Structure 1
């Protein structure tokens, strides 16, 4: 498609437009308490009106840019649907409950902080959700930490660190799928690239938790494991817990190592879990319903809603625990287990689609390039580019107030420049997650920050200093890149890790000079 002779925005107009978008989204999220969907849609309309009235960009061109943007992300949208199917089948078959059950066994009072970090990482890897960890297992761990004399902000920070390891690295996570879709990479190449920056950070955080945990090791005699045992007992009452729960995750892992595409790999995991459910005695309609609508808890939901009838339920299921503990654990587990299914992905799918509309409009009207080009022209090292992407992601979290936008907007901004620089697309997708995903929970007014603060009962600014993984991951990523470690060059599938750091964006200066005559300040 040939573009019309629309004018190019100058830095001033681009900044004003970006400020207007930030104000619309910020007021909608913070002032009115809305979900992000409508504010983002209104921001897209505002950006489009500026483009049409001030710059003279035709509606047809903006429409085609939006369609192109959405089309480029269809793979990720399909994978999100596959994730819903996978999680629904894995919970129904006892795969996720089994991983949680065995994950609890690593808890030890002497190394509580380290165990908490690893447990939350395991659960979030299994579910792909940091929110699921914070709102369920995290709540229980906060209570145990307080009983051991461990400060709640410290425990909350470690819980969030573990939760965001899985949120970032799990193929079931929505952000792990959005980032490569926006950057033009693919899921498993993206995950392999993140290992370079995330695994060293996790090791550093593990060392920190061991050092900090030494001062609390003397409190081991006060450790109360009743809630953990109660959760394991109730999981065992609802699901056939056995080591066989590892089969579907191992199947997906093996297929990933063999470089099978993500979509058929996830379908294979769903099929394996569905077979397990049928073997466990569930009917075919029940299995298919879990894939569509997600899992509906039974035993745990009964305890959550039992009221004064808890004692009778305990006797009925042969469980031994205090009635108050049974009610609390039932509420926690029913919230964790009521998840998955195609329907569970619709909220995220609609939000991502609307965010992509905004990204398409901003890209076609040239606001992003107007702000980006002067900064990129000064970049001479890959580390500088990575730092610029991370700063853009953090600013997006602060001013746009949404984790998805902190990935989508900078991703669209830098996509073309990264492609023309010779760097692999996975460098962009990795960096978007290193900062966009990780720092969202550190901002009080993002959905991530607000949720974790509410769920864990600790204000965002109090747990922030202890979110070691979230704080250190962007720093480690920048340092490694400046040192030339883990830098991918070339196209995904054909790219190689090379220790060279020089980069040149002078081609942008040439592009800018060709169109500078038609600039609107």
Structure 2
């Protein structure tokens, strides 16, 4: 036991988790910021820890160390708030919309949006980065085609989530690999056995859904919008090099924070030298947000952003969530609950099922990082004991703890998406198909495994 660990009894662990959940649900019911729930829970945990032998200063030190470790994520959130406004005022998003309107009229837009975001996300290695860049442009295109924003956003989130799960430069994917002490090739092979059917199910659903929106009937609206874009901005293919450069840099392994920072600088140059906007105005808009003031009302409703200032609310929630997660993890508060859940596992299918439940619950009450680290550390020996390939554990975590994050209103992913788009989780949730098809397939696999006498799984195979 380290100096930061304390002995937590089972009842105390359940009490802490219950308090956290009640705090979160209370904030949702009364429409309060979730920061109240997280900081109240931190105070409650500190009181419990002090009674169990952990000084308050130690608790504060855990939080301080966590925030220092996560400073890159905090800076990234601020940077993404900046780049959205920068891409709008520089004409990058309008240019992406202009060429998208021209070339996507004959396509099934929702299916195309899903495929595009999944590919971009794989190369960028981040769902958040994908949603806040190419996702914003696609959201604008969807509105131009007459598709409700919440439907398009659900599709975008489905595609973007793939990067977090299988991209070689994804921090979550690499965290899972490190936790399992395996390699990318084996992990990818395992994850793809469920991801491939998930992907084709989503393609089929989005194809059918996309057929309900006949873009050809919107030709006059599309022509009006392209005219508006061309009149309000200087549209040039050169502007597309900025988002392309971010994707290329991400694929080459350049840190996403550095890529986004370079993207902001290039956007500022584009605003000044291509759009003719002054440096002072550009910087001001990056901080305070962008709102188009054109002669076209439809365009003004599409081209909006809150800037860096709009990120402060989500940053406060994120800091609270990260601090609370680190307390639960480093003090091993949840350990008694995990031990209880895994104490009576009798079959391989049951182990897979409970792995998904544990990973999903941990992501629900904290974040994806905790939903990865704790199952890896707790269940790895259990998988070895039952002679199940550890890559199955990686895959189960990918299909549950990582996949469901955008569906949880108080999770950092969902909070970020809402802050950037203004669309609530309850609206886009039914259309973020991949995020709930993934756990359904994993739990179905676990059920099939439990139903076989030999405990061998039909699809996908347990021994790969």
User: Do the two structures share a fold, i.e. TM-score over 0.5?
Assistant: yes
Aligned equivalents of 1:270, 1:449: Cα separation in 2: 20
1:242 pairs with 2:236: yes
**8 Å Cα contact 1:133-1:163 kept in structure 2:** no
1:474 pairs with 2:436: no
- Tell me what 1:296 maps to: 290
Aligned equivalents of 1:353, 1:181: Cα separation in 2: 22
**8 Å Cα contact 2:78-2:311 kept in structure 1:** yes
Distance 1:101 1:185, change over 3 A: farther
Distance 1:331 1:90, change over 3 A: closer
Q: Gaps spanning 5+ residues in structure 2: where?
A: 122-127, 385-389, 449-459
Aligned equivalents of 1:455, 1:213: Cα separation in 2: 20
- Tell me what 2:452 maps to: none
Q: How far off is 1:380 after superposition? A: 9.6
- Tell me what 1:516 maps to: none
Q: How far off is 1:199 after superposition? A: 6.8
1:163 pairs with 2:163: no
Aligned equivalents of 2:203, 2:141: Cα separation in 1: 19
Higher Cα radius of gyration: 1
- Tell me what 1:512 maps to: none
Please list, as runs of the form range in 1=range in 2, the aligned pairs for 1:134-173 lying within 5 A after superposition.
144=146, 158-165=151-158, 167-168=160-161
1:349 pairs with 2:315: yes
- Tell me what 1:436 maps to: 404
Match of 2:280, SS state, is helix
Distance 1:47 1:296, change over 3 A: same
Q: How far off is 1:275 after superposition? A: 2.6
- Tell me what 1:50 maps to: 48
Match of 1:241, SS state, is coil
Residues 191-221 of structure 1, C-alpha deviation per residue, up to 9 Å, x if partnerless?
x96994667634432223335666x59x787
Aligned equivalents of 2:111, 2:5: Cα separation in 1: 59
Aligned equivalents of 1:238, 1:49: Cα separation in 2: 57
- Tell me what 1:128 maps to: 132
- Count of aligned positions: 424
TM-score by length of 1: 0.64
Q: 2:302 aligns with which of 314, 333, 357?
A: 333
Q: How far off is 1:479 after superposition? A: 7.7
Aligned equivalents of 1:89, 1:220: Cα separation in 2: 29
Distance 1:350 1:459, change over 3 A: closer
Q: How far off is 1:478 after superposition? A: 6.7
TM-score by length of 2: 0.70
Aligned equivalents of 2:339, 2:57: Cα separation in 1: 26
Higher alpha-carbon deviation: 372-381 or 19-28: 372-381
Q: How far off is 1:22 after superposition? A: 0.9
Q: 2:203 aligns with which of 203, 206, 216?
A: 206
Residues 165-205 of structure 1, C-alpha deviation per residue, up to 9 Å, x if partnerless?
3553579xxxx98857987979xx9xx96994667634432
Aligned equivalents of 2:195, 2:321: Cα separation in 1: 26
Distance 1:244 1:204, change over 3 A: farther
- Tell me what 2:271 maps to: 277
Distance 1:201 1:34, change over 3 A: same
**8 Å Cα contact 2:131-2:157 kept in structure 1:** no
- Tell me what 2:15 maps to: 16
Aligned equivalents of 1:283, 1:103: Cα separation in 2: 28
